[in-house]
Amino acid sequence: MGYWQPNRGWNTSRNQPVAGEYRAIALDLHGISVKQAEQLKNDMETTQQKINTEDYTDLGKQQLVGDLLYATILSYFALNNVQDDISAKQANMVSYKAPSYGLFKTNITPMYWFGIPRNVKISGLTMDVDHISHLRVHKNNDHEQWVNYNRASGARMSAMEHLVPEQMFSTEDNPANGISAVKAIQLAAAEGQKIWTITQANLNTALANIQLSNDIKTDIRNAVNAGKEVTAHEKPLNFYGKTSAGYIILDPTTGAGAYMISSGENGGDIQLPGETDAISWLLSLLDAVGDNPILKRLGGILGNFIDAIGIYTDIMKCGVSYGIAKYISTLFITIGVAFILLPYLAIFLSLYIAIVSSFLAAAAIAPFFSSRWSCNG
């Protein structure tokens, strides 16, 4: 998979899809357009409304699974673009998005018997951002600051590879847990593991002490021999019952890097505790039309996506200050309406039920008022 640019030639990455995987691919050519985000938001609002009204006609795998996967990777790019704009101004940088792409997929691993695939193991959801690129310069042409900014941006984008899916797929009763290269190294350090910064000077010593897979060791050796700098932890992590690892390959002259997880992707994995795994839960949606508990949970998750895309479109139309102000004001409206309703509901209901009911009602009313906000952008 890749693309071609007249001044740079081909940029490609190797992907080997497994039959039965569901993949959502997003292109970020020069930022995510507001029109594109709004169309996806409208589609998801339609699905959410159908679930809430128990109208399951025309709800298939694209509406129940495909839009969720696509919205995840699109939200990753959109939210990173907003953060890029803010951080570039703070760091005295000029930054423009170059063509980039990535995917969010269901993760299926074939099981072999004497070299013949006989079954598959469903192992979660994976974000794989194969190519994300920018055109950046420091306003004072400070090379060291430029390299430091690239390093910091790479670490932040790696963290977003677990944060975005976590935020999107979590519910109050069932939090999602994602892992990325940055998070894996952070968790390893918290466990007391030694974190290695590997260069050609200590390559053999580091590999002798690291207990990661042979594939990861080979990747580290090849990268260091090519002049790169690698950050890795000592041994695999047990992340919610799954063995995980993360490592970072950096170009010391530019600060650009690859933030790898043990499955080989430049991205992150997500697990849903309390379920068999994330993909089993997603696939169960296809057989669950009419099963209110499962679909109602999906309706709540759709709300997370709709909120995130809504904030992005507000920011792109009217600026960062407006988007944040509108979001915060909605929270205050919710709290304010809840306290207005609380005394009246408490007359007829117990205090606990009155509190819960007032906030539920406020949450339904607040979007009506915030939707009346407008700007001239």
Asked if 358 and 276 sit in the same domain, the reply is no
**18 in a domain, yes or no?**
yes
**190 in a domain, yes or no?**
no
**73 in a domain, yes or no?**
yes
Task: Calculate mean pLDDT across residues 67-91.
Answer: 86
**262 in a domain, yes or no?**
no
Percentage of residues in the chain having pLDDT higher than 70: 68
**349 in a domain, yes or no?**
yes
Asked if 284 and 350 sit in the same domain, the reply is no
Q: Which domain holds residue 81?
A: 2-175+271-310
pLDDT band at 64 (very low <50, low <70, confident <90, very high): confident
**200 in a domain, yes or no?**
no
Q: Tell me the pairing of strands 93-113 and 23-28.
A: antiparallel
**356 in a domain, yes or no?**
yes
Asked if 276 and 365 sit in the same domain, the reply is no
CB atoms near residue 90 (< 10 Å): 8
pTM of model > 0.85: no
pLDDT digits (tens, 9 = 90+) for 254-304: 999 999 988 766 667 766 544 444 555 555 544 444 444 444 555 555 565
Residue 237 pLDDT > 90, yes or no? yes
Domain count for the chain, please give it: 2
**224 in a domain, yes or no?**
no
Asked if 306 and 334 sit in the same domain, the reply is no
pLDDT digits (tens, 9 = 90+) for 315-344: 666 665 555 555 544 444 444 444 444 444
Domain boundary pick from 263, 285, 310: 310
Domain boundary pick from 261, 281, 310: 310
